[in-house]
Amino acid sequence: MAKSMKEDDPRQVACQVLEKVDQEAGYANLEVNARLDKMNASQEDKNLMTALVYGVLQHQYLLDFYLEPYIKKPKKLQAWVRQVLRLAVYQLVFLDHIPDYAAINEAVQYAKKRGHKGVSGLVNGVLRNFLRHDLRNPKDLADPVDRIRVSYSLPKWLVDKLITQYGQKTAIDMAASYNKPAKLSLRVNLDKVSREEACTQLEASGYQVQKSDLAPCGLIVAGGLPTSHPLYQAGAIRIQDESAMLVGLALDLKSHYKVADLCAGPGGKSGHIASYLKAEAGGQLYASDIYDHKLDLIEDSLESQGYASLAQVKKLDGRIAGQVYPDNYFDRILIDAPCSGMGLLRRKPDMRYSKDVASLTALPELQLAILNAAGPLLKEGGKLVYATCTILQEENQAVTQAFLKENPEFFLEKIPFDQSQYLDNEGQVTILPSDFDSDGFYLARLVKRKEASGSRQREDEKR
């Protein structure tokens, strides 16, 4: 990064993205995509910028731990200078293909361009000092929670919860899995092509393909994004995490059903549901969300897969769904509820630093309110699937149990998932990020008893 360096230099852009995420609570994926669209750079430089941003976010606490002995006045360090140092140390420790001299020189030159001579001298001194010493080892930390927090760059409150709910070994396994590269998984639309045929066609186009061990309709693909492949253009494959593909299995769909997806954005699961339905059989999808931009994504997803005629897309707060839809109307309801997203930290590492315990306290109440609003809309004998992309039990099992307590006309039914080790005694599915190196996910199938209306009325009369 000389003074005449280009504005599209990958390290400079990465630093600016990290600043925005840190200082303005921006979303890393949105900021990265926005800069990729504007970068006048080679694909190699674009890939490096992306890798630097996500790498620093995945290892932020560890990088700070490495830097700590060499920064004399950390509180006075400007935010952008800290990002420059994190970026350089990430390259020195994790990116073997980048020479040490290049990582340090680029950091110093950027500091010189953006700051004054003293700042570039500080950056140079810290990094040279870092290289002269052995790497610190977080295993030397006495507190086991602190060891996990630093080693895997997770907030202390989350480490505490994972240990309390799953035990220390499983907590460490999950923490380690969060920092593994995310796989590219595809959902095969079995209404349009078999999984075997999709494999064959993708392999013929040069992709490396294997079948998902988790999802019966899933594929794991390497070799690039297949968005220009004829299968994708025909709506026969879609990018979706493996664990999210279990929704179709949990809903137990038939072609003539009326199905509500009450928290549908951005539309991936709506498209999956629609693939089971047939307009000529009377099948209908009712997809709703509270956010306008998500409604656009839902419509685009359904249109691109050829399912627009099957679906009604509506702006709706799920808590007031009963004001829009009549009681006993739907055969199936999916509530993929707003949640903390603690199963997604592999793909969204910035969430580690933007969430805290206080920000999560209102979520179970919101989740339960949506479930309670949906219950009356389901036909007797119908099935409601409650799903989240978190692994925190207070948002999952605890919410399900609260709903059952308030709605005795419902009961839990075992989801017919072949891998029974991921089912609890009541048939709920919990996929941890470490189980398949996928997103963490929770599913519960709630069935409305037949003659539920009468039994509910009798319960109300007793009260």
Q: What is the CATH number of the domain that holds 14?
A: 1.10.940.10
In a domain? residue 453? no
Whether 370 contacts 319, CB under 8 Å: yes
pLDDT beyond 80 at 53: yes
**Residue 417, both tokens:** 């998932």
Residues 72 and 165 in one domain: no
Give the residue numbers of the binding site for S-adenosyl-L-methionine: 263-269, 289, 317, 336
pLDDT beyond 90 at 451: no
pLDDT beyond 90 at 116: no
Residues 212 and 327 in one domain: no
In a domain? residue 454? no
Last residue of a domain, one of 239, 273, 288: 239
Q: What does DSSP assign to residue 389?
A: S
Q: What are the pLDDT digits (tens) for 123-161?
A: 999 999 999 999 999 999 999 999 999 999 999 999 999
Q: Are strands 237-239 and 184-188 parallel, antiparallel or unpaired?
A: antiparallel
Whether 110 contacts 12, CB under 8 Å: yes
Residues 142 and 124 in one domain: no
Q: What average pLDDT does the structure give for the chain?
A: 94
Give every strand in the sheet of 237-239, ordered side by side: 208-211, 218-222, 184-188, 237-239
- Write b or e for each residue in 289-315: b if 16 or more Cβ atoms lie within 10 A of its Cβ, otherwise e: beeeebbebbbebbbbbbbeebbebbe
Q: Angle of helix 117-132 relative to helix 60-67, nearest 10 degrees?
A: 90
Residues 171 and 229 in one domain: no
The pLDDT value recorded for residue 368 is 98
Whether 340 contacts 392, CB under 8 Å: yes
Q: What are the pLDDT digits (tens) for 220-235?
A: 999 999 999 999 999 9
Residues 317 and 351 in one domain: yes
Distance CA 398, CA 412 (A): 13
Cα-based angle 176, 177, 178 (whole degrees, multiple of 5): 90
210, 239, 205, 208: which is closest to 222 by C-alpha? 208
- Straight-line distance from the first to the last Cα atom of the chain, in angstroms, rounded to the nearest whole number: 74
Give residues with Cβ within 8 angstroms of 382, minimum separation 6. Answer: 330, 331, 332, 333, 447, 448
The predicted model gives 421-447 an average pLDDT of 95
Q: What are the pLDDT digits (tens) for 248-258?
A: 999 999 999 99
In a domain? residue 458? no
The pLDDT value recorded for residue 5 is 59
pLDDT beyond 90 at 4: no
The pLDDT value recorded for residue 1 is 40
In a domain? residue 2? no
pLDDT beyond 90 at 418: no
Give the residue numbers of the binding site: 263-269, 289, 317, 336
Distance CA 125, CA 148 (A): 29
| Confidence tier at 16 by pLDDT (50, 70, 90) | very high
Distance CA 444, CA 382 (A): 14
The pLDDT value recorded for residue 452 is 64
247, 226, 240, 236: which is closest to 182 by C-alpha? 240
Residues 303 and 376 in one domain: yes
Distance CA 274, CA 302 (A): 8
**Residues labelled catalytic:** 389
Total count of domains within the chain: 4
Domain span at 162:
138-179
In a domain? residue 455? no
The predicted model gives 166-187 an average pLDDT of 96
For residue 244, CA distances in Å to 241, 323, 351 come to 5, 29, 19
Distance CA 108, CA 2 (A): 9
The pLDDT value recorded for residue 462 is 46
The pLDDT value recorded for residue 2 is 43
Distance CA 423, CA 426 (A): 8
Q: What are the pLDDT digits (tens) for 66-99?
A: 999 999 988 889 999 999 999 999 999 999 999 9
In a domain? residue 227? yes
The predicted model gives 49-64 an average pLDDT of 97
| Range name among 23-27, 167-171, 203-207 with the lowest pLDDT average | 23-27
Residues 145 and 206 in one domain: no
Whether 209 contacts 219, CB under 8 Å: yes
The pLDDT value recorded for residue 463 is 45
The predicted model gives 278-294 an average pLDDT of 97
Residues 355 and 367 in one domain: yes
Last residue of a domain, one of 239, 255, 272: 239
pLDDT beyond 90 at 121: yes
In a domain? residue 461? no
- Write b or e for each residue in 207-239: b if 16 or more Cβ atoms lie within 10 A of its Cβ, otherwise e: bebebbebbebbbbbeeeebeebebbeebbbbe
Residues 119 and 268 in one domain: no
Last residue of a domain, one of 163, 179, 195: 179
Give residues with Cβ within 8 angstroms of 136, minimum separation 6. Answer: 65, 66, 68, 69
The pLDDT value recorded for residue 68 is 97
Residues 122 and 145 in one domain: no
What DSSP string runs through 412-433? EE----S-GGGB-TTS-EEE-H
Residues 249 and 371 in one domain: yes
Dihedral pair phi/psi, residue 33, rounded to 5° = -60, -40
* Helix residue ranges, H only, 95-245: 100-114, 117-132, 144-152, 156-166, 168-178, 195-204, 230-233
* Number of helices followed by number of strands (H, E) in the chain: 21, 12
Range 110-117, long-range pairs (CB < 8 A, 24+ positions): 110/1, 110/5, 110/9, 110/11, 110/12, 110/15, 110/84, 111/81, 111/84, 112/3, 113/1, 113/3, 113/5, 114/80, 115/78, 115/81
CATH number of the domain where residue 277 is located:
3.40.50.150
**Residue 454, both tokens:** 């009468």
CATH number of the domain where residue 230 is located:
3.30.70.1170
Q: What are the pLDDT digits (tens) for 325-356?
A: 999 999 999 999 999 999 999 999 999 999 99
In a domain? residue 352? yes
Q: To the nearest whole percent, how much of the chain has pLDDT over 70?
A: 96
Residues 153 and 211 in one domain: no
- Write b or e for each residue in 147-162: b if 16 or more Cβ atoms lie within 10 A of its Cβ, otherwise e: bbbbbbbbbeebbebb
